Structure 1
Amino acid sequence: MLVLLPPSETKWAGPRRGTPVRLDALTSPALTPAREQVLDALAEVSARPDAAEVLGTGPGLADVVAANTTLRTRPAAPASRVYAGVLFDALDLPTLRPAAARRVLVVSALWGVLRPGDRVPGYRLSMGTSLPGVGPLAAFWRPRLAGVLAPEGVVLDCRSAAYAAAWVPDADTAARTVGVRVLSGGKVVSHAAKRTRGLVARHLLTRGGRAPGTPAALHDAVSEAFDAKLLEPARRGGSWTLEVEAS
Structure 2
Amino acid sequence: MIVLLPPSETKRDGGTQGSRLNLSKFMFPALTGARQAVVAGLTQISNDSDVARKALGLSAKQQFEVERNRVLETAPVMPSLERYTGVLFDALDAPSMTSGEREFAHSTVLVHSALFGPVGAGDPVPAYRLSHNSKLPGLTLKRHWFTQVTDTLAAVPGLQLDLRSEAYAQLGAASHNSVYLRVVTEGTDGKRVALSHFNKKSKGLFLRALINAGIRHSTVDSLVSWAQSAGFRLEAGAPGELDLVVSSA
Q: Same fold (TM over 0.5)?
A: yes
Write the letter of the residue equivalent to 2:52. Answer: A
Instruction: Give the alignment partner of residue 147 of structure 1, picking from 137, 145, 151.
Output: 151
Cα distance per residue 1:132-176 (max 9 Å; x no partner): 2212x1221111112322232221110001111112135xx2xx3
Q: Is the 8 A contact 1:106 1:113 kept in 2?
A: yes
CA RMSD of aligned residues (A): 1.9
State percent identity of aligned pairs. Answer: 39
- Report how many residues are paired: 236
Question: Which segment is superposed worse, 25-34 or 8-17?
Answer: 8-17
Cα distance per residue 1:77-108 (max 9 Å; x no partner): 22122111111121223412303431000110
SS of the equivalent of 1:184 reads strand
Write the letter of the residue equivalent to 2:87. Answer: V
Cα distance per residue 1:196-243 (max 9 Å; x no partner): 0111112222226x432212222222222212321251xxxxx22323
Q: State the 1:192 CA deviation.
A: 0.9
Q: State the 1:50 CA deviation.
A: 2.6
Q: State the 1:23 CA deviation.
A: 1.0
Does 1:34 find its partner at 2:40? no
Name the structure 1 match of 2:76.
Answer: 75
Q: Is the 8 A contact 2:235 2:244 kept in 1?
A: yes
With the length of structure 1 as denominator, give the TM-score of the two structures.
Answer: 0.88
The answer for unaligned runs of 5 or more in structure 1 is: 234-238
Aligned structure 1 segments of 4 or more residues deviating by more than 4 angstroms: none
Name the structure 1 match of 2:204.
Answer: 198
Partner Cα distance (1:148, 1:199) in 2: 27
Partner Cα distance (2:55, 2:205) in 1: 34
Summarize the Cα distance change of 1:124–1:138 in structure 2 as closer, same or farther, 3 Å threshold: same
Name the structure 1 match of 2:64.
Answer: 63
SS of the equivalent of 1:199 reads helix
Name the structure 1 match of 2:139.
Answer: 134
Q: Is the 8 A contact 1:138 1:162 kept in 2?
A: no
Summarize the Cα distance change of 1:216–1:54 in structure 2 as closer, same or farther, 3 Å threshold: same
The answer for unaligned runs of 5 or more in structure 2 is: 188-192
Q: Is the 8 A contact 2:83 2:125 kept in 1?
A: yes
Cα distance per residue 1:111-151 (max 9 Å; x no partner): 1111121111100001122322212x122111111232223
Does 1:161 find its partner at 2:166? yes
Q: Is the 8 A contact 1:180 1:244 kept in 2?
A: no
Question: Which segment is superposed worse, 99-108 or 12-21?
Answer: 12-21
Write the letter of the residue equivalent to 1:177. Answer: S
Q: State the 1:13 CA deviation.
A: 2.6
SS of the equivalent of 1:131 reads coil
Q: State the 1:61 CA deviation.
A: 1.0
SS of the equivalent of 2:68 reads helix
Name the structure 1 match of 2:236.
Answer: 230
Name the structure 2 match of 1:211.
Answer: 216
Write the letter of the residue equivalent to 2:197. Answer: H
